[in-house]
Amino acid sequence: AADCHTGIEFARAFQPDVILMDINLPGLNGLEAMKILRADPLTSHISIIALSANALPRDIENGLASGFSDYLTKPIRVNEFIHKLGLVLKSSAKAAPRQEVKH
């Protein structure tokens, strides 16, 4: 999605298994968008992986403590991305059954 508001609407409509969320976006940042998704019963179950150029240990710790399923730093290391994506998807599959969304 081009912006967080569109991404939130896409998440509600399409119910993805995982969202890759950039932290530093114009307007509503990724952290604020994640909080909206976590507070919404339609999207609270979706795993969200943070993506950011902020790579200091405290940035990563703060992101994870805020509720992201994982935290990746730029530039993306493809092998690490695929490994972490697999872990998050496996964890999502073990979670409670998904709610059916009526449109």
Average pLDDT, stretch 83-92?
89
63-67: long-range contacts, CB 8 A cutoff, minimum separation 24:
63/23, 63/31, 66/31, 66/34, 66/35, 67/34, 67/35, 67/38
Residues 6+ apart with CB under 8 A from 31: 23, 63, 66
pLDDT digits (tens, 9 = 90+) for 21-79: 999 887 889 999 999 999 999 999 999 999 999 999 999 999 999 999 999 999 999 99
pLDDT digits (tens, 9 = 90+) for 5-26: 999 999 999 999 999 999 988 7
**pLDDT band at residue 2 using 50, 70 and 90 as cut-offs:** confident
- pTM here is 0.84
Give the per-residue pLDDT at 24.
87
Residues 6+ apart with CB under 8 A from 94: none
